[in-house]
Amino acid sequence: MRVTNKIIQNNNLANINTNKVYQDTLSTQMSTQKKISRPSDDPVVAIRALRLRSNVTELTQYYSKNIPDAESWLDVTEDSLNNLTEVITKMIEQCTKGSNGELTASDREIILEQLNSLADEVYTTGDADYAGRYVFTGYRTDTSLSFSEAEKMTYRITEQLGKDALDTLTVVDTETEAGVNLKDMTQSNYKDLDVGAINITKADVHRIRLAYENCADTAPVLSYPVATRNQDGSLDVTWEEISTSVVHDYENPSPAEMIQRASEKGEETGIFIPETGELLLTDAAYEKLMSLKDDSTTAAFDESEIRVTYEKKDWVKGDLRPEHYFACTSYPEGEDPIEYNAKYLEGIVERQDIEYDVGFNQTIRVNSTADECFDHGIGRTVDDLKQAMQDVIDMQKIKDELTALKDKVGEDERPTLESKIEAVTKAYDMMKDKSQRMFEAAITSMQGYLDAANLCITECGTRSSKLDLINARTQTQKTTFETLKSENEDVDITEIAIQLSSAKLTYEAALMATGKVTQTSLLNYI
């Protein structure tokens, strides 16, 4: 084969260009510190880079955003729950003090004042928020747990209760035979009030204490289930109602006396006191509800459930919003009704758990819901205690005022005064005994609420500990994937620098060789 100078020249130029391309490649790697600048440079490296970058991006999202956000949410929740436990612990302390039978008037005043301040604090804690989102209201993070101000809004509420909602309340009847209420007696009017026969009594009445007081002046619907099993094994459930009527706590005879008279007649009925939110039951109605039993073979339905449906229109600051707890319907003025938690009535309770993605196919729950820790019973128990203590304080005040008159009245007035002091003293002793027993029972009730709050704190702490482990593992994974990504994409600067220097020498040598070859032609041999 004949090799001409032109062929030699073209080959040298091609080799020079190859060296130049190689030098450009190394120069690009040197400046970008990456092995490739386009996928076609090395498809395997490119595909692996996409996967590793995707992994690093996900881990960065978990490690830098999701996990810190979840930690902050859990911290806010735990701080609020710790606050709640402190409040309930202080309530237990006051209950312990109140259970002492030898309290002075000033002692009772202090306990009452403490209970008032603690009652205002307990549900305020539930309105804690994180970044504008309320942490105890489930998915309704834009809605506060309690009303922030007084509001008029009609709600129709259905409370689904168990037999543990039935309790027995001691009522002291301060109405004398002549219809005089001893609570109205003062130093100035005791002469004008005809006590009549002294027959101060106390009685135990059965009741259901609803979640709210100051309810609408309408009779609630009290119902219980009657289940019939069909041949195919399915259940037909009908809800039987117990008749109820509305009375007021200022009526004469008193609601307690009314329910006692109905019990004596054997009636199966209830009396609703809207001011206190109490549904008093006759003995027959109480026994009917207490006889309900849940059938263990029907897991999807509770045959012992008791339902009370009622309305409330006037809300005060601090009242818990019913949509966070019950199946209910609100009726905004001029708007369509809004239904909440309708599935509760079908036995379907959907947990409103807020979960964060904190790892590959791994989530963690960050919220605690209000029904787990902020129970209506806390405030309602305090309401009972405050009323019982206030009754004792008021009656002791009347007793002290009348006793102070003994040395100031004449002999002719003394028998009348002493008979009234006797009636007041009897009522005072009964109320004091009632108050003491209620405070003793409240210690157990409050301890139950405290246990529920502590359980929430424990669960919150468990999630925080789990999140710490996930955080540590995610950090390790992130470091690992970043290392793999670097090894896949990044160049070794030292190695590239050496190769680039070598390429420059090769390029320069090629230029010199080509220059010498091209200097010689056929004319040199003529």
Residue 11 binned pLDDT confidence (cut-offs 50, 70, 90): confident
Q: What is the pLDDT of residue 192?
A: 64
The answer on pLDDT for 279 being more than 60 is: yes
- Give the percent of the chain with pLDDT over 70: 94
Residue 23 binned pLDDT confidence (cut-offs 50, 70, 90): confident
Q: What is the pLDDT of residue 436?
A: 93
Match 């060789």 to its residue by tokens: 513
What mean pLDDT value characterizes the chain? 87
Residue 107: count other Cβ atoms within 10 Å of its Cβ.
13
The string over 288-325, giving b where at least 16 C-beta atoms fall within 10 Å of a residue's C-beta and e elsewhere, is ebeebeeeeeeeeebbbbbbbbbbbeebeebbbbbbbb
Q: How far does Cα 81 stand from its chain's mean position?
A: 10
Q: Ranked by mean pLDDT, which of 133-137, 348-352, 398-402 comes out on top? A: 133-137
* Maximal C-alpha separation, the chain: 168
Q: What is the pLDDT of residue 195?
A: 54
Q: What is the pLDDT of residue 224?
A: 93
**Cα gap 25→20, rounded to integer Å:** 9
Q: What is the pLDDT of residue 175?
A: 73
The answer on pLDDT for 263 being more than 80 is: yes
Q: What is the pLDDT of residue 346?
A: 85
For the segment 481-495, the average pLDDT, to the nearest whole number, is 83
Q: What is the pLDDT of residue 302?
A: 84
Per residue in 93-132, pLDDT tens? Answer: 999 999 987 888 889 999 999 998 898 888 888 999 998 8
**Cα gap 184→435, rounded to integer Å:** 20
For the segment 358-364, the average pLDDT, to the nearest whole number, is 90
For the segment 345-372, the average pLDDT, to the nearest whole number, is 89
Q: What is the pLDDT of residue 408?
A: 76
pTM, two decimal places: 0.83
User: What separation in angstroms does the CA of 352 have from each of 213, 242, 366?
Assistant: 27, 33, 11
The answer on pLDDT for 522 being more than 70 is: no
